[in-house]
Structure 1
Amino acid sequence: MAWLRKLRWPIGLVAIAIGVLTPLFITVYVEPTGVSDPVVFSEYRADFAVAADGTLDATETITAEFPLWRHGLFRYWDVANPNDPHIRQPPDITDITVDGAPVPYELSWEDDRRFRVAKIGDPDRYLDEGTHVFTIRYRIAGVLDPGGTGAEKAFPGSEGRPSDARSVFFWNVIPPGWNNPITEARIAVTLPGPPTGAQCVVGAGEGAPCGALRIDGRTVEVSARALPPRTPLTVRIGVDVATPPRPTVPWTQRWDSVLGSSPAGLIAVGVMAVAGLVAAMALMRTTAEPSPGFGVQYAPPEGLGPVQNEYIRTEAVPKHGLTATVFHLAEHGLLTLDQTEPKKWVIRSTGTARDRRAMDPVSAAVATALGVRKPGREFRADGTVSAGATLERATAKMGEAVRQWALDAGLVVPKRSEWWARVANGVALALAIAALFRLFGGTVWIVPFGLFFVATMTAWRPGVGLRRTAAGRELWSRAGGFHRLVATDSAESRFDFAARKDLYTAYIPFAVAAGSAALWAKKYQAATGAPAPQPGWYHAAGAHGMLGGSSSGFDSFESALSSSIGAYSSSRSSSGGGGGGG
């Protein structure tokens, strides 16, 4: 997954951008059913008091006739101002009662945060059949529009000259969100100054005139009868007071689900993003070990096998560690490798008992797991399920052995405080997902949590939670220097193969563990002018003693191991098993 570490920022930034913009492309739309609520409002009374600063204090008193099996009502507020797309008018609910007693209610958002919804009623209790009185009190800021607002709209009912005023109260005093028939409605609007005129319409579009429209001092009264469900009653009242300033946002309501409804919230997101990145960099610095320097070494550290060398260098078990260990044992005369078919190999145990006792702990663990620790034994990598199970077990034992070796040798010590970086990374991911579902408002909140998550992804790299000791750092320096020899093509790391041809094959296991077998072969060919020789212990069918300038000479062995492991993995998947390899 090295490619993922290299590309984590481009991939992460694209994922963050997609998450933030998701609401613009994915909208949950509920098809209107056309079925009205069976609860009938026998009387709908609303008292609106508008202050000079544009704040509306509203009291809605609803006398409702309930059938059986109903919990309560739904009240919808449209927070968008249809006359100015940069203004939001969310309600601040102060009190809701039923029959004079407080009642529980739940608030939610619908239609990408355009509608604030109050679900009124006890979800665990049905209301008795009959008449119930609901009282809803709330406050909304910024309800006065400039005087010319709505002047182009035709109203069938009008009194006075509302357009002569400096401000207007242009409002759905009965909103279209009520899905209930209303028998009788009476509305009173008290203004901060004398009204210059009032207009009223029932329904959308041209609509119908209200039942009555009357101005009494600073109060305007309107009424209507027999309103069908989802029928608004709209008034436009001129009041000769200065239009108070109102907070605005630079974006339209459609972007609220992305950016939220407050510039202050957007600023907070930016501050958190910067602070989070700084904190992430500081946190990750605590998990990094300074490099000890890697001068070129022309031999691996004494006594280390290829997996040990890579582990102390990277603190990770190498991907090709099993192949490298088998090659290492073969190079030391303890195994021979014979290809019998294109994807079938036989690994045979050879060597003396003294040689086998001198195995490093990783090699011993692999030989034991493959069943080739004793002389005369063999293991067949033949693509069968049993062979795959053995290879998986050997891979697991190899990883356990190299980790335990590093601890027992005092080369690394646990540093559990570094695990907090992983905890922080997981929390950041959880918060980013929560932001995607808009638990904090707009999806823009994904940005600070997402950036922190991407910045701390390397907390999951191998070695976090461990720290090399002084002895481990010294060995790391030598292992890294030897890695330069087998895995880089710089002039400094060139090797005199003419003088030591035998070391090419001796270092093949280390090149395989480092993932640089092809480069190691090319270095040999470039230095000597001849193809890299095939090791004497590697008997590939059809080979003629030379590997050429690539790693293809070892590909057939890797393919045989992969084929067996693949057969085992497939058998586990098809049987639904989730256990270990035996």
Structure 2
Amino acid sequence: MPRAARGGVRLGALMAVLLVLATLGAAPASAAGSEDKATRFHVDFELKADGSVDVTENITWQFPSGEERHGIERLIKVRAGYQDRQDTYRLYDMSRVSAQSPSGAPSDVSTSSFGAYERIRVGDPNRTVSGTQTYVVRYTLAHYVNGFPDHAELYFNLVDTSNENTYENVSATVHGPAPVDRTDCFYGELGSTQRCQSSPGESASFSAGTVAPRQAVSILASLPRSAFGSLEPDLREGAVTDSGEVVATGTARALGALSIGAGVVLPVLAAALMGFLVWTRGRDERYAGLTPGLTPGLTPGLTPGLTPGMAPGTAPGAGQQAQVVRGAAPTVAVQFTPPAGVQPGMLGTVIDETANTVDVAATVVDLAVRGHLTMEERDRSGFGHHVDWMLRRTESTREDRSALHLYERRLLDGIFAGRDAVLLSELKNEFKPTLDSVQSAMYDEVVARGWFRRSPRAQRAVWTGLGQVLVFGGILGTFWFGSGLSSMMAGSGYPVPPALALAVGVVLAGAIFWLLGRRMAARTAEGSAVLAQSLGFREYLVTAEASQIRWEEAQEVFSRYLPYAIVFGVAEKWAKTFEQVAAAAAAAGHTIVAPWWYAGPGGFGSFTHLASGMDSFATTAGGTFTSTPGSSGSSGFSAGGGFSGGGGGGSSGGSW
């Protein structure tokens, strides 16, 4: 301890250690008298001819030292399931409850229902007790003795499995209207067949020694059937749940009908609601009557969208109007240039409604093409072939930032973070916060440009999130609450388990919200126009022919359009076109200048190598950007019928 203190242990930790040491030091002296337990527990049973049982419990209780206690409590089981019937339970009506304390402790009695049990509290809530006290608790249980053709039987849990205390010197005696001719005794955890001591006679005796918490003692006493009356059990309509509550048959059927109905209706309602929302809000808007990719003429300075005083379904600008409808646009025409002012990252976001890592990586390449950084491909040492990229600032990165959008500035700041050069591999495990910030800014940007009314991610998140909650909630709820719900509706009588029907319905409804919620991100008419132009430009990148490209413009065109080709996944096709351009130019004695912003291990190499390298960069960057440090009533005498905890009723308890 002194060494730890000298090492700078915080005061809270020091106090905790001192407390543990103090507790350990005090334990030997106080352990013997601190346990809350029964040091003696003896029960007398007087069986009556009508099947009732007078029970007298003689208890010596040791209260824990240093803690306030008022007395003892007994939990007597008075309700139990009956055979395999799910619409009937058995009642052992309890009456004539009394208590006294030979040691002089307060012995006031109060009773209350506690699930399948009746709770008997002995003591005064305004007075405390300590040390060791003795109590005598009496009560009568009606209709308890079981009747069989050849014998009558008492099968009682002397200590119930719900017991949470230690019981020492456990014993019992059984008297009846005739001598007890056969006995048995079991103890241990629920289901144990380990026997304890018992002997029949005029007064049958039982002894089990010490019983630990969560262990039970069950006694069986057989008497002649002729010594009793009818011995009909007191059966009531309803079912006893796992928690001991009684559910009437009518209630169980109503709950079952409600659960099955909900299991059927919930998916139907979910499908109807999501179908309506997807049809009315989840489909893209577009300008009717205009060629895909075109928008109504705009007055200079106005932003796409409705202006005050204009009716829905119209678009502003120079007296032109266009009706806005929902639905897929017709086939687009080839566009020879990307949409004006639409950067590759924005184009990728509007195409698939997601600002993914490919869009961010393509933005890095686009910033390089625009002069804000250079990219040098390097071979890394080590086993196998590893490629890395050195990213370097240019002067324009420091000086000219006014033309950059917020997401581009955040991206550059996150990559360099005050340094002039960095290897892509050095960003591993540290770039994820920057990526999240960049993606958030990209979503804000597409909303600001009027392509979406809300962030596509936010539009999807509400419904997919609700779906996930229902799916996982339905599955987990089945494990956590399925047993309890099933027991509540056990007597409903339906061929399909109502709790299962409800769980399946909730999961199906959640799956519908989850799947269809992905379609809730919808573009505005302006966004659909940009999409049409983008898809038309993709057709050009795929179908462009070398003969259409002028040699003197080849290097600039290749570099400028390469980030878009990366977003579309056609960089290799775009590069092959320029290999043909370069070959034709070389045959005519013309040299196409290599891109200034890129350098390979052996120089420029070729357009195909550069495109392949940029594809590899986008893939590697995607993994690097997202990496985080944490990512690297039968007879007990029948064959097999008797066991500990198997009695129809029983008792347990402790102090309060």
TM-score by length of structure 1 reads 0.57
Q: How many angstroms apart in 2 are the aligned matches of 1:468 and 1:406?
A: 10
Residue type of the alignment partner of 1:324? A
For 1:202, the equivalent position in structure 2 comes to 183
What does 1:1-12 correspond to in 2, within 5 Å? none
For 1:326, the equivalent position in structure 2 comes to 364
Q: How many angstroms apart in 2 are the aligned matches of 1:183 and 1:356?
A: 91
For 2:562, the equivalent position in structure 1 comes to 508
Q: How many angstroms apart in 2 are the aligned matches of 1:484 and 1:412?
A: 21
Structure 1 counterpart SS, 2:139: strand
Structure 2 counterpart SS, 1:383: helix
Q: Does 1:185 find its partner at 2:204?
A: no
User: Residue 383 of structure 1 contacts residue 561 of structure 1 at CA under 8 Å; is this kept in 2?
Assistant: no
User: Residue 460 of structure 2 contacts residue 517 of structure 2 at CA under 8 Å; is this kept in 1?
Assistant: no
Which of 615, 619, 638 aligns to 1:554? It is 615
Q: Does 1:233 find its partner at 2:221?
A: yes
What does 1:105-504 correspond to in 2, within 5 Å? 106-107=114-115, 121=121, 129-135=133-139, 162=149, 172-175=154-157, 177=159, 181-186=170-175, 201-203=182-184, 211=201, 224-226=204-206, 228=208, 229-234=217-222, 270-285=260-275, 288=278, 289-291=282-284, 292-293=327-328, 295-296=331-332, 298-299=334-335, 300-341=338-379, 342-349=387-394, 357-370=402-415, 378-381=420-423, 383-384=425-426, 389=430, 391-392=431-432, 394-414=434-454, 419=462, 422=465, 425-426=468-469, 429-430=472-473, 432-438=475-481, 440-442=484-486, 444=500, 447-458=504-515, 468-476=523-531, 478-479=533-534, 481=535, 485=539, 495-500=543-548
Q: How many angstroms apart in 2 are the aligned matches of 1:352 and 1:455?
A: 47
Structure 2 counterpart SS, 1:72: strand
Structure 2 counterpart SS, 1:64: strand
User: Residue 307 of structure 1 contacts residue 362 of structure 1 at CA under 8 Å; is this kept in 2?
Assistant: no
Q: How many angstroms apart in 1 are the aligned matches of 2:283 and 2:86?
A: 54
Deviations 1:38-96 (A, max 9, x none): 4423423466968xxxxxxx676433333232733454689566xx6566865557768
Structure 2 counterpart SS, 1:471: helix
User: Residue 54 of structure 2 contacts residue 140 of structure 2 at CA under 8 Å; is this kept in 1?
Assistant: yes
Q: How many angstroms apart in 2 are the aligned matches of 1:420 and 1:47?
A: 65
Structure 2 counterpart SS, 1:547: helix
Structure 1 or 2, whichever has the larger Rg, is 2
For 2:110, the equivalent position in structure 1 comes to 102
Cα RMSD over matched residues?
Answer: 5.8
Deviation at 1:248, TM superposition (A): 12
User: Residue 88 of structure 2 contacts residue 236 of structure 2 at CA under 8 Å; is this kept in 1?
Assistant: no
Structure 2 counterpart SS, 1:337: strand
**CA separation of 1:499/1:364 partners in 2, compared to 1, >3 Å: closer, same or farther?**
farther
What does 1:36-51 correspond to in 2, within 5 Å? 38-45=39-46
Structure 2 counterpart SS, 1:311: helix
Deviation at 1:133, TM superposition (A): 1.7
User: Residue 106 of structure 1 contacts residue 120 of structure 1 at CA under 8 Å; is this kept in 2?
Assistant: no
For 2:73, the equivalent position in structure 1 comes to 72
User: Residue 301 of structure 1 contacts residue 475 of structure 1 at CA under 8 Å; is this kept in 2?
Assistant: yes
Deviation at 1:394, TM superposition (A): 4.5
Q: Which runs of 5+ in 1 are unaligned?
A: 1-35, 51-57, 108-115, 151-161, 164-168, 189-196, 213-222, 487-492, 575-582
Deviation at 1:548, TM superposition (A): 6.3
Deviation at 1:118, TM superposition (A): 6.9
Residue type of the alignment partner of 2:566? V
Deviations 1:101-139 (A, max 9, x none): 3235644xxxxxxxx677765899779822332437688
Structure 1 counterpart SS, 2:58: strand
Residue type of the alignment partner of 1:281? A
Q: Which runs of 5+ in 2 are unaligned?
A: 1-36, 64-70, 100-107, 161-166, 186-192, 209-216, 285-326, 380-386, 487-498, 584-591, 633-656
Deviations 1:229-279 (A, max 9, x none): 532235685988999999999xxx9x99xxx99995777654433333234
Structure 2 counterpart SS, 1:412: coil
Q: Percent identity?
A: 13
Deviation at 1:344, TM superposition (A): 3.6
Q: How many residues align?
A: 455
User: Residue 199 of structure 1 contacts residue 235 of structure 1 at CA under 8 Å; is this kept in 2?
Assistant: yes
User: Residue 42 of structure 1 contacts residue 63 of structure 1 at CA under 8 Å; is this kept in 2?
Assistant: yes
Residue type of the alignment partner of 1:202? T
Q: How many angstroms apart in 1 are the aligned matches of 2:470 and 2:572?
A: 46
Deviation at 1:322, TM superposition (A): 2.3
TM-score by length of structure 2 reads 0.52
Deviation at 1:545, TM superposition (A): 0.6
Structure 2 counterpart SS, 1:304: coil
Q: How many angstroms apart in 2 are the aligned matches of 1:66 and 1:236?
A: 34
Residue type of the alignment partner of 2:328? G
Structure 1 counterpart SS, 2:469: helix
Q: How many angstroms apart in 2 are the aligned matches of 1:484 and 1:198?
A: 99
Residue type of the alignment partner of 1:472? G
For 1:539, the equivalent position in structure 2 comes to 599
Deviations 1:410-429 (A, max 9, x none): 33334889837735743664
Residue type of the alignment partner of 2:219? T
Deviations 1:454-499 (A, max 9, x none): 44445886x96x76444334445555x359759xxxxxx9523345
Q: How many angstroms apart in 2 are the aligned matches of 1:283 and 1:122?
A: 58
Structure 2 counterpart SS, 1:293: coil
Q: Which moved more, 1:234-243 or 1:88-97?
A: 234-243
User: Residue 62 of structure 1 contacts residue 133 of structure 1 at CA under 8 Å; is this kept in 2?
Assistant: yes
Structure 1 counterpart SS, 2:45: strand
Which of 54, 57, 62 aligns to 1:63? It is 57
Deviation at 1:324, TM superposition (A): 0.8
User: Residue 59 of structure 1 contacts residue 137 of structure 1 at CA under 8 Å; is this kept in 2?
Assistant: yes
Residue type of the alignment partner of 2:572? A
Deviation at 1:325, TM superposition (A): 0.3
Deviation at 1:521, TM superposition (A): 2.0
**CA separation of 1:332/1:91 partners in 2, compared to 1, >3 Å: closer, same or farther?**
farther
Q: How many angstroms apart in 1 are the aligned matches of 2:594 and 2:277?
A: 41
Residue type of the alignment partner of 2:183? V
Q: How many angstroms apart in 2 are the aligned matches of 1:126 and 1:320?
A: 73
Deviations 1:552-580 (A, max 9, x none): 553256536855875xx44x999xxxxxx
Q: How many angstroms apart in 2 are the aligned matches of 1:209 and 1:469?
A: 88
